[in-house]
Amino acid sequence: MVRMATRRAETTEESRRLLVAAAAGLFAEKGYRQTSFVDIAERAGISRGSIPWHFGNKLGLLKAVLDDRLQTVLTGVAPPGDDRSGDPLDQVMDFIRLPATRLFITLLAEAVEVDSPIREHYAQLHSALRQAVQSRIPAGAVPAGTTPEAFTVLLVGAVIGVHAQWRIAPEAVDLEAVQAAIRALALAGPRSG
């Protein structure tokens, strides 16, 4: 596919998709600042000049990558009420292992910087993740004494923070045990009622 790229293909959706995929991988591995247009063009097998054609500048490419990965995350989990993918609480914890989560954490530092150009984009990203998670929490799994909104912030927070610990020291974090803990916590409330 890459070797067949022609001048015409470079202005198509296919070349855009290849560039987004290459950039997502490189941003997650090396970080945003350390990745150059040359790196991205090389991995995608697309000429460097087509990047500004598609995205304007590097920031435009970053926003395209974030949007694309968010869609991957949202479509990768089953819609609310759909039983095909097993338990919604397990799905929430599956976020921890997603390549998209790896990217989101690598770029988090860029987003929290003062006057970061992607802060607003990250706010939308977190908001979309919270909505997706909240819509999938079974009504009975919100423990007494808390609200669906607060429980959702806690679950999304746990995904971010457990990923961070696991990524830094995989041998120190037992993901299966953490998943069991989430389940025990979520079910403890209703069961006591």
**Positions in the binding site for a second copy (CB under 8 A):** 29-31, 33-34, 105-114, 119, 122-123, 126-127, 130, 143-147, 149-151, 153-154, 156-165, 167-169, 172-174, 177-178, 180-185, 187-189, 191-192
Q: What is the DSSP string of 62-89?
A: HHHHHHHHHHHHHHHSPPTT--TT--HH
Residue nearer to a second copy on the CB measure, 40 or 111: 111
What's the rounded Cα separation, in Å, for the pair 188 and 70? Answer: 31
- DSSP string over 152-190: HHHHHHHHHHHHHHHHH-GGG--HHHHHHHHHHHHHHHH
Q: Residue 2 or residue 188: which is nearer to a second copy going by CB?
A: 188
Q: Which is nearer to a second copy, 5 or 62 (CB)?
A: 62
Question: How far apart are CB 62 and a second copy at their closest, in Å?
Answer: 14
Q: How far is the CB of 67 from a second copy (least distance, A)?
A: 16
